[in-house]
Structure 1
Amino acid sequence: MTERATINVRGNGAGTSHAERVFRVQQAFAELGRDMVRLSELAEVTGLDDSTVGRILQSGIYSGTFVRHDRGIYGLGLGAADLGFQALAHATDDTASHSALVELREATDAGLVFLYMKAPFRALGRQCIDMAVGDSDLVELGMTPRDVLSVTRSLRTGASGRTILAYLSEPVQEAVIAGPAPDEAGPGAYRDNDELRASLQQVRDDGYALGYQECMAGWNSVAAPIMWDDSVMGAVLLLKPMDTMPHAPADYIDAAKTAAARLSRLGGGSWPSS
Structure 2
Amino acid sequence: MAAQSARGTNHAERVFAVTQAFIDHGGDPLGPGEISAATGLSDSAVHRILQSGVYTGIFVRISRGKYKLGAQAAELGFHALEDDHDLSGTEAKEILERLRLKTDGGLVFLYMKAPFGYGRQCYDMAVGDSDLVELGMTPREVLSVTRSLRTGASGRTILAYMSERVQRLVLDEPVPEEAGPGVYTDNDELLASLKEVRDQGYALGLQECMKGWNSCAAPILWQGSIQGAVLLLKPAYVMPEAPQAVIDATVDAAAQLSSLNGGWPAD
Q: Distance in 1 between matches of 2:228 and 2:14?
A: 24
- Shift of residue 166, structure 1, vs aligned partner: 0.6
Mapped partners of 2:260, 2:167: distance in 1:
27
**Aligned AA (1:209):** A
**Number of residue pairs aligned between Structure 1 and Structure 2:** 264
Distance 1:67 1:53 in 2: 14
Give the share of equivalent positions with the same residue, in percent: 62
Task: Report what 1:113 is aligned to.
Answer: 108
| Backbone CA RMSD of aligned residues | 2.3
The answer to whether the 8 A contact 2:223-2:266 is kept is: no
Match for 1:176: what amino acid? V
Match of 1:96 among 79, 91, 96: 91
Q: In 1, are the aligned partners of 2:27 and 2:69 still within 8 Å (CA)?
A: no
Residue number in structure 1 paired with 2:19: 26
Is the 8 Å Cα contact of residues 85 and 119 (structure 1) preserved in structure 2? no
Aligned to 1:5: 3
CA shift for structure 1 position 56 = 3.1
Q: In the alignment, what sits opposite 1:66? A: 59
**1:259 matched to which residue of 2?**
253
1:223 aligns with: 217
| Mapping of residues 51-62 of structure 1, within 5 Å | 53-62=46-55
CA drift of 1:129 comes to 1.3
- Conserved in 2, the CA contact under 8 Å of 1:114 and 1:132? yes
- DSSP-derived class of the 1:153 partner: strand
How far did residue 67 of structure 1 move? 2.3
Q: CA deviation at 1:76?
A: 1.7
**2:166 equivalent to 1:172:** yes
Match of 1:76 among 44, 60, 69: 69
1:38 corresponds to 2:31: yes
When structure 1 is superposed on structure 2, of 34-43 and 199-208 the one drifting more is 34-43
Q: 1:212 to 1:70 in 2, by over 3 A?
A: farther
Q: Residue deviations 1:73-113, cap 9 Å, x none?
A: 32222322212222224533611111111111111110000
Q: Secondary structure at the match of 1:232?
A: strand
2:234 match: secondary structure: strand
Would you say 1:244 and 2:238 are equivalent positions? yes
Instruction: Tell me which residue corresponds to 2:183.
Output: 189
Residues in 2 aligned to 1:272 and 1:187: alpha-carbon distance in whole angstroms = 34
Q: Matched residues in 2 for 1:92 and 1:53: separation?
A: 25
Query: How high is the TM-score relative to the length of structure 2?
Result: 0.89
Q: How does 1:154-165 map to 2 (within 5 A)?
A: 154-165=148-159
Q: TM (normalized to structure 1)? A: 0.87
Cα deviation digits, residues 129-163 of structure 1 (max 9, x gap): 11110110113431234541124321111101110
Q: What 5-or-longer segments of structure 1 have no aligned partner?
A: none
Pairwise CA distance, 1:34? 3.9
Q: Which residue of 1 aligns with 2:79?
A: 86
SS at match of 1:216: coil
Give the aligned partner of residue 206 of structure 1. 200
CA distance in 1: counterparts of 2:93 and 2:265, whole angstroms: 18
- 1:235 is aligned, of 226, 229, 233, to 229
Is the 1:125–1:151 Cα contact (8 Å) retained in structure 2? no
Contact kept? 2:32, 2:47, Cα under 8 Å: yes
